[in-house]
Structure 1
C-alpha cells in the first residue's frame, strides 16, 4: 500500500488546532484514495512526523502544504523526514506551485467575480500572501500567480501583497478601489488570515470582499490526490525503465 503524508509548518505556540485541521484534510484525501495510506503531520507538533512515519513505513510521498518552494521544502523537510526514519520518502512540489492549485486559484477568482456580477474588465483583485523577508521564493511564487491571474481572468488589475514583506497588504490595499476582491493565497485559515489580513484591510480602508483562502476550497483534496497519484506513476515508470 503506497503511503502519503501531508505536512505543514503548524503553529508552535498552539499546535493542536493546526494538527487537527491538517488531519481533517488528510482524511478527505484518504477517502479519494482507498488503496493508499494517507496521514498528516505538522512540524510544530513534537514527534508527529516520526509517529506517522513509524505507522506508514520508511518509503512514501510527502506533500508539503506550503505556498512556496525554497529552503524549507528542498533542504529542511527532507532532513526532518530522514531524522524521523523516512529515508526513502519523496518530497513533492509544495501546494503553492502545484499546477492543479494554480489552475484552481484562477477558477476561484473567476467564480468570485461572476457570483457578484462583476465583469472582468471592471474587476480588481488583491492576492494576499505571506511573503518573507528572508527568502525571495514566497514573493516569486505569489507574483507569478498574480501575473497568471491577470492573464487568465482578464481582470483589470491584479497585484500581490504580503504580510511579512513589502509591498505590505495595508499599503497595497489603500490603493485599491471599493468593491475589489481580496483572495488569500494561503493553505489554511490561521492567524494571518483570521486576524492580520482583516486588520490590514480595515486599516487601509478598503471596502472590498475578502474571500476564503485557496486552501479551503472543497476541490483541494482531489488535486492533492491527483498529485500523489501522478508522483507514484512517475516513480513506477522510472523503476520499470
Structure 2
C-alpha cells in the first residue's frame, strides 16, 4: 500500500489558492497508481502538523507543490512535518521513519527537468507554429534577491530550451530582479515572441502585474513600433496549471521511491480510527454539524439543521470532491480555512458509497477522525502554545513575544466559533464525537490561523478581528 501527499501553501483568505493542488490530486487519483492521494497545507486543513496522521499507509511520499526551492520547501514544510531536516533537499530527497511510517520528501515539482516540456506545451498552445526562424521564447519568473534558488530554476529551463534549438532565442526574465520583464523590447529581436509565466497558479501576477509590465492587452498583442521592428507577443497560461504537471509529480514520486524501500502496509492505528468512524456511520449519528444516515449501502450526509427536508429542497452532491466544494465556503460565500468552525453552509445533501465516505468525511473535517481516536486512546500529544510559538520562523517569529493575555484575547475571537476543544491550552475533553458527543473534537495544537492572528494582533496593537492572513 502506498500513499501520496501533495503539499500546497493554501490561504486563510482565498478559497481558490488550493484549487491547483485539488486538481492535481484528482488527476492522480484517477490514474490509480497510489492507494490514496491526500493534500496538506500550510494555511488550510489538513495542516502540515496533521497530514501524516491522515495517511492510511506506512509508505508515504510527500511532494511540495511549489515552483522552486526556497524558504517553504527547505524550512517550513520539513519543520512542520517533523522530518528533522533543514536546508537544501538533495536530489534523491529526504527519507525518515516517523511514527512507524516511511516518509519520503522530495524536491518541489517546479525544479524537475520535465518542467521544460511543460513550458514547451504552454508555448505551443498559444503559438502552434512557433519556429526557430522567427520565434523567441521568454521564460518568465518571479525572482527575488533573497533566495538565488528562485531564479536558478528559470535559468536552467531557459538553458534546456535554448539547447533544443526550437526557438530563435530564449530569454529568462523576472518580475523582481534583473533582467526585468519590462526590458524585453530591448532584448528580444524576433518577430514573434511567446511568453510563458513560470508560476504555480493563475493569480494577481499572471493576470495583472505581468500584462501591465509588458503592455499586453490579451493573449495576442501587436507592438508595431518596438526598437527591433514590429513584434507580436503571445501570452501563455502559467506552467503550474497545465495537466502535464501530474506527470512531473509522478516522476518525482517514483524517483524518490526507487532510492530504496518497499511498499508499505496498512497503518493499524489509522485503520482502527476509521473502523470506529464506520461503526458510527452504520448506526447513524452526528459528527460536528453534520447528520450522517445509512441507507441501503449508501450514506447520506447533510447539515443537521436540514434534518427532515426533502431531497428536492437540497442540492445533491454524489462525490467526495463535490462535498468538499460546497462546504469550502460559508452561507455568505466566504472561505472556510478552518473546517471545524460552526459555519458549515446549509442546503445540500451528499450521497456517498461506503468506499467514498472516508474521503467525504476527510474533506468535511480533515484529521478529526484520526485525532479523536488518538485522544480516546490517550495517545494524542498536545503541544502547548509556548512550544508552538518557539517553532515559528520568518515573519511569524514575533509571536514568541505574545503574552498570555494577548494569546487568550486572540483565542476568545478565533477559537470561540470552532468545534475543537483547546487541549493545548489545558482544556479538558472527556469524550469525543466517536463516543456520542457530536461536537466534541480535540485540538492538539494552535492552528496556523491562530498563529497568524496572534502576529496580526502584535503588529496592530489591537484586539484581533479574525480577518487577516498574516
TM-score bracket, normalised by the shorter chain, equals 0.7 to 0.9
User: What does residue 233 of structure 1 align with?
Assistant: 258
Of 171-180 and 193-202, deviating more is 171-180
**How does 1:12-91 map onto structure 2 within 5 Å?**
14-45=13-44, 48-56=47-55, 60-82=60-82, 87=98, 88-91=102-105
Superposition deviation, residue 154 in structure 1? 3.5
Superposition deviation, residue 197 in structure 1? 1.4
Match of 2:151 among 139, 144, 152: 139
1:9 and 2:21 aligned: no
* Secondary structure class of the residue paired with 1:138: helix
Partners of 2:249 and 2:122 in 1: CA distance: 17
Partners of 2:69 and 2:120 in 1: CA distance: 20
**1:61–1:141 Cα change, 3 Å:** same
Superposition deviation, residue 59 in structure 1? 5.5
Higher helix share: 1
Match of 1:165 among 143, 152, 177: 177
Q: Answer yes or no: is the 8 Å Cα contact 2:110–2:153 preserved in 1.
A: yes
Q: Answer yes or no: is the 8 Å Cα contact 1:106–1:153 preserved in 2.
A: no
Partners of 2:107 and 2:113 in 1: CA distance: 9
**1:222–1:33 Cα change, 3 Å:** farther
* Secondary structure class of the residue paired with 2:176: coil
Q: Answer yes or no: is the 8 Å Cα contact 1:96–1:102 preserved in 2.
A: no
**1:50–1:124 Cα change, 3 Å:** same
Superposition deviation, residue 194 in structure 1? 1.7
**1:176–1:214 Cα change, 3 Å:** same
**1:191–1:59 Cα change, 3 Å:** farther
User: What does residue 116 of structure 2 align with?
Assistant: 102
Match of 2:133 among 118, 121, 125: 121
**1:106–1:190 Cα change, 3 Å:** same
User: What does residue 208 of structure 2 align with?
Assistant: 195
RMSD: 2.9
* Secondary structure class of the residue paired with 1:126: strand
| Structure exhibiting the larger radius of gyration computed from Cα positions | 2
Superposition deviation, residue 191 in structure 1? 1.9
Gaps of 5+ in 1: none
Q: Answer yes or no: is the 8 Å Cα contact 2:65–2:108 preserved in 1.
A: yes
Gaps of 5+ in 2: 84-96, 218-222, 224-230, 263-470
**1:81–1:173 Cα change, 3 Å:** farther
* Secondary structure class of the residue paired with 1:180: strand
Q: Answer yes or no: is the 8 Å Cα contact 2:67–2:240 preserved in 1.
A: no
* Secondary structure class of the residue paired with 2:107: coil
Superposition deviation, residue 17 in structure 1? 1.0
Partners of 1:199 and 1:215 in 2: CA distance: 21
Partners of 1:236 and 1:195 in 2: CA distance: 46
